[in-house]
Amino acid sequence: MYDYCISTVFFSLLIIFFYCLGSVIVSEKNSIPYRFICGYLFYSFIIAIGGIIIQLLNLSWYLFFGYTILTVIALLIFIVYRSKKEKIRLFPIGVKEFLKKYWFLFIISGILIVISLAYSEWIWLNNCLDDGFYLNKIATLPYIENPFTTNASTGLVEIQNGFNSYIVNTGELEMSVYVFLLQVTPTVFTRVFLSGYNYFLFACCIYAFAEKIIKSTSIKCSENTIQYIASIILLFGFSWNFMEVKEILYVQDSWQFNTAMYYASSIVRTMGILIILVHFIENNKISIRDILLVILISVVLVSKSTIALPIIFVTCVSYLVVNFLFDDKYLKKILSIIILVLIGIIGLIIGGNDYIEELVRNLFLKNMKFYLVIGCLIIIALSFTFKSKVINKVNLIMLIILFLMESPIINNLFEKLSVYDFVAARASTTYMYTFVIVAMIYVYLFINKFKYSKKIIIPIYLVATMMLSLVSLYSYNNYNGKLLTSYKIMYNNRKIIPDSTIMLGNKLSDLADDVEEEINMIMPEGVMVDGHLHSIAIIIRSFAPEIRSISAIGRFKVSEGNDFSNFTSDDQAKLDAFITNPTKENKHNLKILLEEYPINCIVLPMAEDNEYLYEIGFDSYTKFSDIEGNISYNIYYRALQ
């Protein structure tokens, strides 16, 4: 209960803090969601600058902790000072009016959290093992001696050969401060509250972007109904299998929207284009302030994930080209063409990546056959009837982004910035999300053109929200697993991870405290808990940061320069064979493994004592069973020679 109460209070205060910060740096005429976004970006920029420097110099985590605390204090003073000096009303509307305008943004976030918790098998699998990096990093950074050179999943110090792109990512670093400060369970903080917070940020981006488009038209719309456009987010919460089979939408790693929204990279992947364009779409000219703001936003997005680079490139170039095309000066129009020609010339010089090009093109062509995308294309085509300059600019920007991603030679620069195929595919995901959102904003405008729209618009969106929510749950139940079973598992494991994993982590931490040497532990990479495969080896350090999980090397490789540099999946297989089939040969292979590597701890998924481990010098440190999860663990230890 502590985790849920303190996290609720924390994120509520964080939202208020960012809103107040945004209110003193942008005009009061802007909406509350837009001011919240601006405050978030300004704070994230300051945190990113300090975090990147500290990581590059490999300084102490506690230095960043102090930097974060001082930043918050300084910004609180700045808010008070600015609001008094400029006579800014931080809360110009009452609670009743606030709820009337924005309540739905919070409701959508809550619904998405509920939907995400249905995916128990993916949560137990730790998001295809990716949580072994992101969640472990948040949970362990404060507790390890070399936080910025230690592999978060294995606990082994890595030798850095060349530039590590993760060194400029500060999303997990920032969250580690909050988890440490609040002393909350990291899985509750991230999988429930941080995910919900990012859903809310996404909803605010949609609101702010929609508001600017709506104001550019002559259509009269109630400010109280703009919030309902955010209901489209529920569509992205459909099961990925369901969306593909039913030919709705196909995007790279769509499962991350449901179970990994807490990743900092999810901010880039879902709202990267929106969070850039929302600040400039109304502008007719590009000012120095705009350039500085683009730099600030770019730093923030890259600090979340370097997958932002291709998204920043295509979005900024597209906006620049469109802005010049809409300029009254003929020279600017020519300049827009020159920019595209230069990109083509650069593309010829640097070359491209045929595999990435084919992948991105196939993703686009596949979606072009789907009903949702076809419908969105029709809606966007009809949107030109609104005769809005802003809408025309948005449509043209979306077209040029597609051109920069799909057109041969022109797309070479996009491919080089992507580096990896999955990065380019995720940029495609960002585009498709934005494409659908833009179309849904236009649907809202079309509805408001009807005579009786004021009476029907709220019922329409509330019914749509209910239907989308039910289909999201239905899509899980029919394509991923049994809904009630999943919720029962979550109810029985309220820490949003098997209780047995937390207990095992606590026991391993006790062992680390009791002995005077590093704990190098091997265990099965996965075990069955609650009827689901649970990838325990890669996640255990979230609850035992003092140990080294050698069995996580299979997913998270180890660099040269330490005792386990040669440890491979074949070595891990020796333990697995010993557990499943303890023949004389398999016992001998395990003994050789233990002689080759300084392993002093073995965790077996069974309560029964293993006589062979006793024979080779191990003792059972402790053992326990989780009857509800149908899993037992026995921790064996022997001192290194």
For residue 85, give the amino acid letter: K
What is the mean pLDDT of the segment spanning 311-334?
Answer: 94
Q: pLDDT by residue (tens digit) across 446-479?
A: 999 987 888 899 999 999 999 999 999 998 877 7
Dihedral in degrees, nearest 10, Cα atoms 299, 303, 306, 310: -30
Q: If 0-12 CB within 10 Å is exposed, 13-18 middle and 19+ buried, where does residue 460 land?
A: middle
Could you tell me how far CA 176 lies from the centroid of its own chain? 15
Q: List, in order, residues 6 or more apart from 100 with CB less than 8 Å away.
A: 224
pLDDT, position 255: 87
Q: List, in order, residues 6 or more apart from 187 with CB less than 8 Å away.
A: 135, 495, 496, 497, 542
pLDDT band at 399 (very low <50, low <70, confident <90, very high): very high
pLDDT, position 503: 98
Q: pLDDT by residue (tens digit) across 477-490?
A: 777 678 999 999 99
What is the mean pLDDT of the segment spanning 179-207?
Answer: 98
Q: pLDDT by residue (tens digit) across 117-161?
A: 999 999 999 998 899 999 999 999 999 999 999 999 999 988 777
CA atoms of 43 and 268, how far apart (whole Å): 17
CA atoms of 451 and 453, how far apart (whole Å): 6
What single-letter DSSP state applies at residue 553? G
CA atoms of 434 and 372, how far apart (whole Å): 13
pLDDT band at 164 (very low <50, low <70, confident <90, very high): confident
CA atoms of 544 and 378, how far apart (whole Å): 54
Return mean pLDDT, the chain.
94
What is the mean pLDDT of the segment spanning 510-524?
Answer: 95
Sheet containing strand 601-604, strands side by side: 548-549, 520-522, 601-604, 631-637, 619-626
The two structure tokens encoding residue 273:
């284009």
pLDDT band at 260 (very low <50, low <70, confident <90, very high): very high
What is the mean pLDDT of the segment spanning 42-49?
Answer: 98
Q: pLDDT by residue (tens digit) across 341-361?
A: 999 999 999 999 999 999 999
Find out whether 207 and 105 touch, Cβ atoms under 8 Å: yes
- Of the candidates 131, 128, 152, which has an alpha carbon nearest to the alpha carbon of residue 140? 152
Look at residue 528 and give its three-state secondary structure.
strand
The residue written with tokens 């000066």 in the block is 329
Q: pLDDT by residue (tens digit) across 63-83?
A: 999 999 999 999 999 999 999
State how far the alpha carbon of 442 is from the alpha carbons of 41, 472, 567, 613, in Å. 27, 23, 56, 67
Q: List, in order, residues 6 or more apart from 114 with CB less than 8 Å away.
A: none
Find out whether 21 and 39 touch, Cβ atoms under 8 Å: yes
Find out whether 499 and 626 touch, Cβ atoms under 8 Å: yes
pLDDT band at 557 (very low <50, low <70, confident <90, very high): confident
3-state secondary structure 246-282: CCCCCCCCCHHHHHCCCCHHHHHHHHHHHHHHCCCCC
pLDDT at residue 430 greater than cutoff 90? yes
pLDDT at residue 239 greater than cutoff 80? yes
pLDDT, position 253: 84
pLDDT, position 162: 65
What is the mean pLDDT of the segment spanning 186-207?
Answer: 98
Span of 36-45, 244-253, 512-521 with lowest mean pLDDT: 244-253
The half-sphere exposure of 483 on its side-chain side, counting CA atoms within 13 A, is 14
